[in-house]
Amino acid sequence: MSTVLDDLSQVIPGGHVDLPTHKTEEYRFTPIARALEKAFPNGFVSGPKKEISSIDEFLIPGLDCSVIKIVDGVYDGTPAANPSGDVFDQLNARLSKGVLSIHASEKPVLILNINTGSTSLHNRFSIKVEAGASLTIIERTINLSSSPLFQTLSEEIEVGKNARLDFIKIQGTPNIIEVCNTSITQEDNSHVNTFTLLLEGILVRNNLSIAIDGEHCESHFHGLSLLNGETIGDHHTVVDHKKPNSFSNELYKGVMDGRSKGVFNGKIFVRPHAQKTNAFQSNRNILLTEHATINTKPQLEIWADDVKCSHGCTTGQLDDEAMFYLQSRGIGKEDARAMLLYAFALQTIEYVSIAPLKAYIDSLIQKRLYAK
């Protein structure tokens, strides 16, 4: 067994971990063990820690939000200021690692997950949106280290009655091998919008599971992968309708350039009691080169009889006729291509409702598509 897999085995109680291989159905197209071995030939050796001079560049321009900074897996508060005259308060201000500050507001919460030097990072979040509350969460990982990073991120999110969650994940970290397990549970009349933007990485696997355990819920699960190089981007989603009268709509799009590889697996379950469920799924992909690939698999299991469900997936190249039309009006080939891809991608950010956030995501998409 190689070093990196040894390392992983040591941290698991019982001293053994079975990493998925190409024979493991759920990871058939996502060779994570191989990617880990290649990225960490000497195991998870930490490098020197980088100083965080400023987090400004990781913020979203114009977005008024609370920032939760997690550095190397530990909550990182701002340095203490204004200690009182009491000597122990002054002592505390000097010796504490930072201030834990809590802001109760409706502002979006930006979780900055920063790695400064380690090569392996494992975070676990638990989030509850209480009944009637409304929360926007934006998540991004920043790897300051020049070494590759192996990250697992697990998060459990409960969305209470009449509550609303907007959950935005921006995955733009190069040199990362990442597995995210996100489980969301919805109660009655709750509303959830998720959007996952996948731009970078060696290998990124997102397991997004939504249990719709309430009636009259509405949910939109959108994702956009704009992959290039040799990135492997894998979205495995499960939408589980457990109660009647809810609506879910899933839309994932992918543009694969270079030798990149996309994977989409979308499961929809409609349980026997979940009558009057409306569940829709669509996965659309454009392959820009003959070396790029996509493996897509919808899986619908419906036990209720009075439901409306549909799924569809398409994979193709850019439309030659559309390209020619744009070019014939004087638009250069690269710009024509970017215009068509941008038009294709834009539908996925329909439900990102906060204007500065939408503008920022839009700018990331444009930057990627107009880069050439």
Partner 1 sequence: MLKIDNLQARVAEKQILNGINLEVKAGEVHAIMGPNGSGKSTLASVLSGREDYEVTGGSVNFMGKDLLAMAPEERAREGVFMAFQYPVEIPGVSTINFMKTALNQIREHRGQPTVDAVSFLNLMKEKVKLVEIDQSLLNRSLNEGFSGGEKKRNEIFQMAMLEPRLAILDETDSGLDIDALRIVSNGVNKLRSKNNAIIVVTHYQRLLDYIVPDFVHVLYKGRIVKSGTKELALELEAKGYDWIKNEMASV
200: left (phi over 0), alpha (psi -120 to 50) or beta: beta
Q: Are strands 74-75 and 191-198 parallel, antiparallel or unpaired?
A: unpaired
Shortest distance, position 257 Cβ to partner 1, whole Å:
19
15: left (phi over 0), alpha (psi -120 to 50) or beta: left
Q: Is 336 in the site for partner 1 (CB under 8 A)?
A: yes
Burial tier of 327 (Cβ tally within 10 Å: 0-12, 13-18, 19+): middle
Q: Is 304 in the site for partner 1 (CB under 8 A)?
A: no
Closest CA to 248 of 237, 256, 258: 237
Cβ proximity to partner 1: between 5 and 322 the closer is: 322
Cβ proximity to partner 1: between 304 and 346 the closer is: 346
Residue that has been written with the tokens 């975070």 in this structure: 123
Pull the structure tokens for residue 155: 């998060």
Residues 152, 207, 327, 366: which binds partner 1 (CB under 8 A)?
Answer: 327
Amino acid at 37: E
Q: Site map for partner 1, 85-114, x if CB under 8 A?
A: ------------------------------
Stretch that binds partner 1, among 1-9, 113-121, 210-218, 316-324 (CB under 8 A): 316-324
At 5 the three-state DSSP class reads helix
Residues 159-198 that bind partner 1 (CB under 8 A): none
Cβ proximity to partner 1: between 309 and 326 the closer is: 326
Q: Is 328 in the site for partner 1 (CB under 8 A)?
A: yes
Q: Is 359 in the site for partner 1 (CB under 8 A)?
A: no
Q: Is 366 in the site for partner 1 (CB under 8 A)?
A: no
Q: Is 342 in the site for partner 1 (CB under 8 A)?
A: yes
**Alpha carbon distance 349, 164 (integer Å):** 17
Cβ proximity to partner 1: between 16 and 329 the closer is: 329
Q: Is 339 in the site for partner 1 (CB under 8 A)?
A: yes
Residues 306, 319, 367, 372: which binds partner 1 (CB under 8 A)?
Answer: 319
Q: Is 252 in the site for partner 1 (CB under 8 A)?
A: no
Count of residues touching partner 1 (by CB under 8 A): 23
Stretch that binds partner 1, among 6-14, 18-26, 140-148, 344-352 (CB under 8 A): 344-352
Q: Is 25 in the site for partner 1 (CB under 8 A)?
A: no
List beta partners, residue 134: 164
**Of all residues in the chain, what percent are helix, strand and coil, respectively (each to 5)?**
20, 40, 40
Number of residues that this document lists for the chain: 372
**Alpha carbon distance 181, 183 (integer Å):** 7
User: What Rg value do the Cα atoms of the chain yield, rounded?
Assistant: 22
Running DSSP on this structure, what letter comes out for residue 322?
H
Running DSSP on this structure, what letter comes out for residue 107?
S
Shortest distance, position 347 Cβ to partner 1, whole Å:
7
Stretch that binds partner 1, among 49-57, 91-99, 214-222, 321-329 (CB under 8 A): 321-329
Q: Which residues bind partner 1 (CB under 8 A)?
A: 319-322, 324-333, 335-336, 339-340, 342-344, 346-347
